[in-house]
């Protein structure tokens, strides 16, 4: 089922849109604030985002820029209350793919969604993220706070393994076997410690990367990462 996130503070409009799109086979989640949307985006990406341009805790243009720093291909439709050319230009400059003007007919919105999904693809599985860290599996690129971070092949595989197991403690033995022994290389336990130290330094000591003493490591979400955002 195609997943859509709708960032909208008007509960009446949000509920009507959700019901309409749900009847047409979409899974729609509504978020009344940008802060809440950011928190959920760090855990799971949708196939498409719809963003109301005027939110109580921020501007849609700034939010879209924040999105593009992390997920370049995530389809975005912005929704504005008037067809002001300045709003529309600002929307496209910040990275939106299309726009709809309020009040809109549900059928028009649906057709815009269909058209955008036809010319894009579902990139939700392409990206893995935790807090300010984002990993693009297709391009094998890593970003921290929107800035690309250059990792060695071992550092990349270490981060990828932790992201693939986000929320779970990954033992040191598992990491050694998955990352080093798969190449037929014998290494001692200190190799992992050194690689993790370098990874942490390159990622600016992220709070979401935890050490589980005498066991291993764990990547976990925490609300405090919102305080570290760039925009």
Share of the chain above pLDDT 90, in %: 59
pTM, whole model, 2 decimals? 0.75
Residue 129 is assigned to a structural domain of this protein? no
Is the domain of 180 the same as that of 107?
Answer: no
What CATH number is attached to the domain comprising 163? 1.10.10.10
Average pLDDT, the chain: 87
Cis? peptide before 23, omega within 30° of 0:
no
Contact between 117 and 124 under an 8 Å Cβ cutoff? The reply is no
* pLDDT score of 229 more than 60: no
Looking at residues 152-179, what average pLDDT do you find?
A: 94
What CATH number is attached to the domain comprising 42? 3.40.50.2300
Residue 134 is assigned to a structural domain of this protein? no
Is the domain of 32 the same as that of 100?
Answer: yes
* pLDDT score of 33 more than 60: yes
Residue 202, domain extent: 152-228
Instruction: Check residue 221 and give its pLDDT.
Output: 80
Number of domains in the chain: 2
- 85 or 57, which is more confident: 57
Is the domain of 34 the same as that of 79?
Answer: yes
Distance (Å, rounded) from C-alpha 50 to C-alpha 69? Answer: 17
Is the domain of 10 the same as that of 54?
Answer: yes
Looking at residues 64-71, what average pLDDT do you find?
A: 88
Residue 176 is assigned to a structural domain of this protein? yes
Looking at residues 45-63, what average pLDDT do you find?
A: 92
User: Of 101, 119, 137, which residue sits at a domain end?
Assistant: 119
- 224 or 141, which is more confident: 141
């Amino acid at each position: 089922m195609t997943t859509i996130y709708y960032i909208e503070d008007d509960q009446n409009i949000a509920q009507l849109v959700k019901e309409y799109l749900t009847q047409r086979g979409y899974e729609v989640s509504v978020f009344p604030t940008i802060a809440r949307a950011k928190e959920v985006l760090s855990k799971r990406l949708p196939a498409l985002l719809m963003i109301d341009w005027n939110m109580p805790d921020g501007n849609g243009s700034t939010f879209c820029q924040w999105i593009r720093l992390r997920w370049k291909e995530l389809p975005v439709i912005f929704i504005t209350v008037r067809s002001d050319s300045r709003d529309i230009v600002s929307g496209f400059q910040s990275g939106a793919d299309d726009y709809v003007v309020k009040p809109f007919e549900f059928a028009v919105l649906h057709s815009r969604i269909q058209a955008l999904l036809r010319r894009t693809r579902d990139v939700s599985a392409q990206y893995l993220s935790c807090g300010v860290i984002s990993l693009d599996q297709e391009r094998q690129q890593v970003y921290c706070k929107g800035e690309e971070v250059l990792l060695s092949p071992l550092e990349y595989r270490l981060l990828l393994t932790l992201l693939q197991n986000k929320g779970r403690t990954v033992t040191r033995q598992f990491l050694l076997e998955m990352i080093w022994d798969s190449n037929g290389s014998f290494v001692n336990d200190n190799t992992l410690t050194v690689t993790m130290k370098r990874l942490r330094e390159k990622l600016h000591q992220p709070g979401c990367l935890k050490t589980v003493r005498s066991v291993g490591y764990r990547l976990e979400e925490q609300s405090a990462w919102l305080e570290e955002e760039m925009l």
